[in-house]
């Protein structure tokens, strides 16, 4: 048996060695040894091919999915009941958002327990007032409707809902949806209907939705108002995007950077900005049909924000973190991004810290 120099095996492309080895193979090596030599002989080429493919993949990712969006729309989500929980006057805060901040893209929600606190008795006054003020100013509104909507506990169920069986509950839910669209669709400020919020993502005090039922909800809304855009949403980081992405015209996603995950403590989501565009491509969505409707712009704390210490709040939100989150959203390349936390900025402003409010004001002035 011929002993082959190990260094030659590591560098099989030296011409003299190659020729010598090929001549010796037939004479001295059985088939099994020959196969082993061939494997070692071609490993460097295999490695080079794989490396070239990986570099090409990175090039495609960074050139096509890492582009910063040039035209960028900022919006925000407003919840008057959350504002009241922080001790704010919800109407005054709303008008300041429209007039002082200059917000032109806004998301509102018709929480079920607020529009139908008593079965078959609907209350629209507060929603009509907000939409009327938006109408006057040419604000474009995403109106979120359904059972699961933004803000904890997500499912804002009226108390009487607990008396119903599953079938009756779904009938009541469809009726509520129908009433909301018919009542509000004449407002010119409504640009988009959002049907449910992260319905298939296990967050909040909510059951996971049946995709077939959500499809029926969307079909109902489209039949009542065929000319407006319909969106539904999913978690940006861990949602699969496939079902919600194909049910509606556009997909809305949340974008969180640092969160508190129970026993595991605080976690920074380990995803680069280009992840969202790449993920859209992988599930067959045009990235222009993906909107960021919930970019983290307030702390994620273990309890109500107004009861937390400054040190606790700064674990997940600070001026530097907000600036970084905005830069991150720009690099994600989405068409629209709605900041999450305007009520907290107003609360901080009332307490003498107007940095977040003033910083946001500069963002909303950029058209």
Does 49 score more than 80 pLDDT?
no
CB 206 within 8 A of CB 156: no
Q: What is the CA radius of gyration of the chain?
A: 28
What ranges do the domains of the chain cover?
6-62, 70-365
What confidence category does residue 356 fall into, taking pLDDT thresholds of 50, 70 and 90?
very high
What's the mean pLDDT in 166-191? 98
Instruction: Give percent above pLDDT 90 in the chain.
Output: 77
3 state SS of 284: coil
Per-residue confidence (pLDDT) for residue 37, from 0 to 100: 56
Per-residue confidence (pLDDT) for residue 132, from 0 to 100: 98
What are 280-336's pLDDT values in tens digits?
999 999 989 999 999 999 999 999 999 999 999 999 999 999 999 999 999 999 999
What confidence category does residue 67 fall into, taking pLDDT thresholds of 50, 70 and 90?
low
Per-residue confidence (pLDDT) for residue 35, from 0 to 100: 54
Does 11 score more than 50 pLDDT?
no
Residue with the two structure tokens 């129908």: 178
Per-residue confidence (pLDDT) for residue 1, from 0 to 100: 42
Does 53 score more than 70 pLDDT?
no
What are 115-139's pLDDT values in tens digits?
999 999 999 999 999 999 999 999 9
For residues 28 and 2, give the distance between their C-alpha atoms in angstroms, rounded to a whole number.
6
For residues 112 and 167, give the distance between their C-alpha atoms in angstroms, rounded to a whole number.
17
Of 175 and 24, the one with more pLDDT: 175
Across 59-90, b (16+ Cβ under 10 Å) vs e yields eebeeebbbebeebbbbbbbbbebbebbebeb
What's the mean pLDDT in 201-209? 93
CB 244 within 8 A of CB 194: no
Per-residue confidence (pLDDT) for residue 57, from 0 to 100: 52
H or E element in which residue 311 lies: helix 310-313
The architecture CATH gives domain 70-365: Alpha-Beta Barrel (3.20)
- Give the list of residues 6+ apart from residue 154 with CB closer than 8 angstroms, or none: 148, 197, 198, 203, 204, 205, 206
Per-residue confidence (pLDDT) for residue 65, from 0 to 100: 53
What are 208-226's pLDDT values in tens digits?
999 999 999 999 999 999 9
For residues 61 and 119, give the distance between their C-alpha atoms in angstroms, rounded to a whole number.
52
3 state SS of 4: coil
What confidence category does residue 81 fall into, taking pLDDT thresholds of 50, 70 and 90?
very high
Q: For the whole model, what pTM was predicted? A: 0.83
Per-residue confidence (pLDDT) for residue 79, from 0 to 100: 98
Does 29 score more than 50 pLDDT?
no
Per-residue confidence (pLDDT) for residue 365, from 0 to 100: 87
Of 35 and 270, the one with more pLDDT: 270
What's the mean pLDDT in 4-27? 47
What confidence category does residue 41 fall into, taking pLDDT thresholds of 50, 70 and 90?
low
Per-residue confidence (pLDDT) for residue 108, from 0 to 100: 98
What's the mean pLDDT in 222-242? 97
């Amino acid at each position: 048996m011929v002993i082959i120099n190990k260094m030659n095996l590591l560098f099989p492309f030296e011409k003299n060695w190659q020729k010598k080895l090929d001549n010796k193979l037939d004479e001295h090596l059985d088939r099994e040894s020959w196969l082993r030599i061939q494997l070692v002989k071609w490993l460097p080429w295999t490695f080079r091919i794989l490396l070239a493919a990986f570099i090409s993949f990175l090039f495609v990712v960074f050139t096509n999915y890492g582009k910063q969006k040039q035209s960028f729309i900022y919006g925000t989500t407003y919840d008057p009941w959350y504002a009241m929980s922080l001790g704010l006057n919800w109407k005054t805060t709303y008008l300041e958002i429209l007039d002082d901040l200059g917000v032109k893209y806004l998301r509102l929600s018709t929480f079920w327990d607020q529009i139908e606190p008593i079965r078959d008795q609907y209350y629209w006054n507060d929603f009509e007032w907000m939409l009327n003020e938006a109408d006057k100013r040419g604000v474009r509104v995403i109106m979120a409707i359904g059972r699961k909507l933004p803000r904890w506990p997500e499912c804002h169920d009226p108390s009487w809902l607990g008396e119903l069986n599953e079938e009756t509950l779904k009938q009541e839910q469809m009726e509520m949806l129908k009433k909301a669209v018919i009542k509000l669709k004449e407002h010119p400020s409504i640009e988009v209907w959002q049907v449910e919020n992260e319905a298939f993502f296990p967050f909040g005090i909510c059951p996971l939705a049946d995709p077939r039922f959500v499809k029926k909800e969307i079909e109902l809304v489209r039949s009542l108002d065929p000319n407006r855009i319909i969106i539904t949403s999913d978690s940006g980081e861990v949602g699969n995007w496939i079902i919600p992405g194909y049910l509606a015209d556009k997909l809305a996603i949340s974008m969180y950077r640092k969160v508190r995950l129970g026993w595991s403590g605080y976690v920074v989501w380990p995803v680069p900005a280009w992840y969202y565009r790449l993920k859209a491509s992988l599930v067959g969505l045009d990235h222009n049909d993906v909107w960021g409707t919930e970019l983290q712009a307030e702390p994620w704390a273990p309890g109500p924000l107004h009861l937390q210490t400054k040190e606790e709040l700064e674990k997940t939100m600070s001026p530097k973190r907000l600036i970084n989150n905005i830069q991150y959203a720009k690099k994600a390349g989405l068409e629209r991004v709605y900041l999450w936390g305007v009520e907290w900025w107003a609360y901080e402003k009332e307490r003498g810290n107007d940095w977040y409010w003033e910083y946001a004001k500069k963002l909303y002035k950029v058209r």
